[in-house]
Structure 1
Amino acid sequence: MFSQDALYGFTESLSWLRSMSDKLNAEVVEQVNNTQELVMKNNFMKESNEYLLKKCLEESRISDVASWRWVLDDLAKRLEDSIDALKHESDALRVVVHRIDYEINAATSYVAKPGALSPMIDHVEEAIMQELAFLREEKRNFERMIIQVNKQIAGLEKTKKRIVDDAFNKYQAMSVDEACCHNDHKFVNIENNKTKKPKKAARVQLSITAQAYGTRVDSALRRRLHSNVIKLQDLDWQREEAIRDFQSMENELTTTEKSVLDTMDRQKTVQDRLAERTLRPFGEHTSDGVNRQLRNELGKLRQFIKELRTNIQIIISLQNHLRGAIAHIDCNAEDIAQVVKIDQERLRARLGDETGTNVNATNTASLPQPRHDSSERRMEYPLDAIKEEDENDLF
């Protein structure tokens, strides 16, 4: 009997456990369903909030900020135009004050000074005094106007600065709002996963990047080398032209100095002839125009010698400038040649070959010896030969 009761109790306990297990399973399923429902609601609320935020930002905030920014930019431009106009007005007022000062100085100088006829003062003197007082009063008025305009300019500049700062803040706020609109939180984890690349892929990417940088550097080196070679050729040509000009001026100098010596010899001859005719005895003087012609020729010769010496000084200055230009060209060519040599060595080292672009650097030739320079100049008018008239032909 005891064993049967125990068996019956065991059956009832098992049924109770089964019922409790089923009940707990049902509660667990219900709880899981509720949890999933909450998760779905949370996701839906999150997406709704993001959609509403983006819509609010796009439709309301960004448009309002952009409108205010446009208004502030337009206002800043208008203030800039006003400031420019006021500055122009201030300059015009200063010009007017300067002219009034000139009028006052002119009215108070020399014989026009008011009160010069004191005590004989008539209506003219009174009018002059009234005019001077009027000018001084107008000068004070214009000076006060200049001060007021400057104050207005300072105030407008402060206002413009505040408006520009506010517009910049609006621009930053609009940039932040646009970034928030374009930000998508769904792919954050995916993007984070994408950043986790294998080491092998990172090494490949690094190799590609290094190769790109190396190609860029090689291209820049080749471009600079080619440009410097062209510059060296140009400097060589300029130096040759300068040396050619210097030599032509040297030849010009020799010819001009010879012309000066010939002209001085001719001047001495004319002076001797004039002195010989002047120092004749009184009875041997002739009444012809030879003396006058000799004096005219002597004056022309002196003027011609003076012009030649002036040209000599001019060509000396030109040769000095040419000498300095040649020295400057040599210095630049030497610097560029050093850069070309360095670039060639870098290219050889980077490409790993011994063949490189050989550039013949310009050799700095020695300058001609400095000397006094001058230019050849022919007389612009001919000098006629003066012949003495026979005294017997005059009678």
Structure 2
Amino acid sequence: MTTSNYATERETTEGKVFTVTGGDWDEVVSGTDPINDERIVVNMGPQHPSTHGVLRLVLELEGETVREARSVVGYLHTGIEKNLEYRNWVQGSTFVTRMDYLSPLFNETAYALAVEKLLGITDDITERATTIRVLMMELNRVSSHLVWLATTAMELGAINMMLYGFREREYVLDIFETITGLRMNHAYVRPGGVAQDVPDDAIRKIRDFLQLMPKRLKEYENLLSGQPIWLERTQHVAVLDVTACMALGVTGPVLRSAGLAWDLRKTMPYCGYETYEFDVPTHTDGDVWGRYLVRVAEIRESLKLIEQALGRLKPGPVMVSDKKIAWPAQLAIGVDGMGNSLEHVAKIMGQSMESLIHHFKLVTEGFRVPPGQVYVGIESPRGELGVHAVSDGGTRPYRVHYREPSFVNLQALPAMAEGGLIADVIAGGASLDPVMGGCDR
């Protein structure tokens, strides 16, 4: 029987089927699965609730298994870093606060610390202003972790936790509104100190929150920690060990859940954190479960820091004494909430012409910053938040670039997702706690 090079010859001798190449067809097909070997490429996001609406994941699937994952970012790009080059140094606070919108006070503090380092006034920041910064950042850390806990639980099916987490977050936002006038995007921490002092009403609210929150944390743990579905969806899922974290530059709770107690508040202290008593929670499994335990423990540590900060709030100024830098905190707002009060305008107008000219020059141009460049890193809820600020000696930044943990940590998603199930992409991605406003900025 002759064969053709263009067709498959089937020969039934001895019950076997042969191909044109002479191979046993039965052996060939037995090593393949025509259903599962068919790979498809799907987009998860950017219009997907579990990718926070603006993260696109390109997944190559083989059945339910993820063979390749790629993160596509940039859908929330706002050009904030470029915009900073066209505003004065103080106006920059109103831009950077809008990057990672779940931790705006960290964005502001990192920026202020960088500007103060360029000005050479780091040691001139008042004790009360520094204490207020710690107080506000730790309150912000609690509210950010509550959002992570609420949204991650919702994405894995625990709808009730979504309600409880946002309920307590609202309490923190009420405190922020009492202190800064805004629930978010505060522009409260500014070069030289903070915009205004903490009122007595806010102190009372914070003390009430410190009484409430430990009880709420126990409720969260009762709801989740022993729940079989929660355990099944988090334990041994999206594992990233400490070696992989170091190779990819991953920081924050994800790194600490892999066993490395790296926290800039301890290892490279700022704002006087070295004088506070607190622990750095860690875990060893490096999975979603470990990241959950670390973040809950960090909320408890933040509550300890908040209580210590309240005890240190001694009376005093909240801005440096140099009026060329302190002027934004000295402005008085009118009764209509817009513009300067009449008393403040009368005070300025009643002074010498030189004072009037100096005032308007500060309002329109701001202050000059000596030429140079600095890098300042702080521990945000998502990891190391760094600011590289460059000055050419003018009243505006020459360049400001943020080392944003959400952007860096997203590198780890393919390492966590590939080889796992598509359902675990949701758990793994959520456990990174990315905020796309900070990632895309």
- TM tier relative to shorter chain: under 0.3
TM-score in terms of structure 1 length: 0.20
Larger strand proportion of the pair: 2
TM-score, normalised by the number of residues in structure 2: 0.18
Q: Comparing both structures, which one devotes a greater share of its residues to helix? A: 1
Larger radius of gyration: 1
